[in-house]
Amino acid sequence: MALDLLLVHDDQAVSRRLRDAFHSVGVRVATYGNGKDSVSSYARARFDGVLSAPKLPDIDVWRLARMIRSGRFGFPDVPIIVTCEAHEQPLLKPLIESNTHLIVLDGAGDQFAARVVRLIEDRPRPSLLLVEDEEAAAASAVRALKKYFSVEVASDGSAAIASWLIRRHELVVLDLMLPGMSGDDVQSRILSINPQQPIVVLTAFDDPQRCESMMLKGSADFVGKATNLTEFAIHCLRVLQHARFLSAAETAIDSRQQLSAMSERVRAANLRLARGQTTAATRQLQHAMAIDPNGELSDDTWAKVLSDFPVEPTRES
């Protein structure tokens, strides 16, 4: 699989040396000397990785990384490799985060290029289950999807459910016309186990009513088989990103609701203690602790709960 790399560096001599090294290992390179042009290019094209100097004429690499990670300019989870000199590494290392790498620019030859390629190819990819019985269509879809996903293929409904039960893929792309078990039945079975599972319905027919029915039953989106394969892959990424946002929002809401419920119980316990009702106060605290589904409350959680209660001033004797 040929890789496409976005190279951002304002030193033209270094850029040429890097471009030649990557060409020697079969990587296609688009080169820019500033952040503005590189972000514009990133929004238009599909890159497998970004290689950037720490400092650019108009922006630093950390701001560039935040723009990419926002998802507003394209795929947010692309590997970002920051080049540096050996003496800069200790200073820059604390700024590295998940899927962002720091690599010393030592000669920028074939070995350097090969190391960057390994970082890109070995990055963790979200898992995707493609349920498609047409071999040629499945092969074409896999070629488009594997740049962004770890793809598993199932050719019928029973195999799809068996695979999903084992791996619980982050995204399911489901053909409706399957041998044996229908796509409708596959979706119903999966959603009965995990109602939050994002499923993209893949259909060869322009049937809005069918797709509307599938979405009302729980699928996240639908896409036609005639869709451009590159756009198809990006569409799947957007569906997964949206599902992640929804999951994060639901987790935050649940956490806030739990915190509110615990605060009410602690308030009740505080009132019971003020009245000398220690047994009732103990029960209220036990109820507060039981609200946490894991059965253990962190120090941070207790600190948030108790922050609602003023600290009584210490009385001097």
Return the pLDDT at 277: 73
- Which strand (E) or helix (H) includes residue 32? strand 27-32
Q: How far apart (Å, rounded) are the C-alpha atoms in residues 64 and 95?
A: 13
Q: How many CB atoms lie within 10 A of CB 118?
A: 10
Share of the chain above pLDDT 90, in %: 39
Mean pLDDT of the chain: 82
Cα gap 29→41, rounded to integer Å: 12
What tokens appear for 118 in the block? 């390994």
Q: How confident is the model at residue 186 (pLDDT cuts 50, 70, 90)?
A: very high
The CATH architecture of the domain made up of 3-121 is 3-Layer(aba) Sandwich (3.40)
pLDDT bucket at 281, cuts 50 / 70 / 90: low
Q: What average pLDDT score do residues 213-223 get?
A: 80
Spatial distance between the Cα atoms of 171 and 251, rounded to a whole number of angstroms:
19
What is the reported pLDDT for 252? 59
Categorize the per-residue pLDDT at 313 as very low, low, confident or very high, splitting at 50, 70 and 90: very low
Q: Are both 3-121 and 127-227 of the same fold?
A: yes
Cβ–Cβ under 8 Å, residues 174 and 200? yes
The pLDDT confidence band at residue 314, using thresholds 50, 70 and 90, is very low
Q: Is the pLDDT of residue 293 over 70?
A: no
Contact 9, 15 (CB under 8 A): yes
Measured CA to CA, the distance from residue 239 to residue 244 in angstroms comes to 9
Which ranges of the chain does DSSP label H, i.e. alpha helix?
12-24, 35-44, 61-69, 89-92, 110-121, 135-145, 157-167, 183-193, 208-216, 229-274, 278-290, 299-306
The pLDDT tens digits of the residues spanning 75-122 come to 788 899 999 888 888 888 887 887 899 999 876 678 899 999 998 988
Residue 52 amino acid letter: S
Residue with tokens 């894991």, as numbered in its chain = 294
Query: What does the pLDDT read at residue 312?
Result: 47
pLDDT band, very low/low/confident/very high, at 67 (cuts 50, 70, 90) = very high
Task: Give me the residue label for tokens 């796509």.
Answer: 183
Q: Is 128 helix (H, G, I), strand (E, B) or coil?
A: strand
Which fold, 127-227?
A: Rossmann fold (3.40.50)
Best CA proximity match to 62, nearest among 87, 80, 45, 41:
80
Nearest to 130 by CA among 202, 223, 193: 202
pLDDT band at 316 (very low <50, low <70, confident <90, very high): very low
Domain limits of the chain? Answer: 3-121, 127-227, 251-306
Q: Please compute Rg for the chain using Cα positions.
A: 26
